[in-house]
Structure 1
């Protein structure tokens, strides 16, 4: 999910479909990458952000730099 939400070249509708698919298959919406970031940290689209929040993404998880997605 981290790659999809951070990919500015990905078409928005395709991005949303992929995110929903991964979530439907049980992807962890709060999974962290090697920098401690969750998909919410990397999200650049309002609708994708809302999809992640609706799926239970936590706004207050801190990355390795102490930053939250908020």
Structure 2
């Protein structure tokens, strides 16, 4: 998984499957996009205006071992 944040639009782009090619993008709402590969597996998620929508001042990430 890879998370990239675009500061100009406060948009995190979350890639779940780096090895997949996006063949379809669906709008969940005005600021949320989900991308799917040819097998209908979700491979990426876009959340525009994330801080405003979640009402949070910052983002942190913690990886938890299995």
Whose helix proportion is higher, 1 or 2?
A: 1
Task: Give the greater-gyration-radius structure (CA).
Answer: 2
The structure whose residues are more often strand, as a share, is 2
The TM-score, its normalising length taken from structure 1, stands at 0.25
TM-score normalised by structure 2 residue count: 0.26
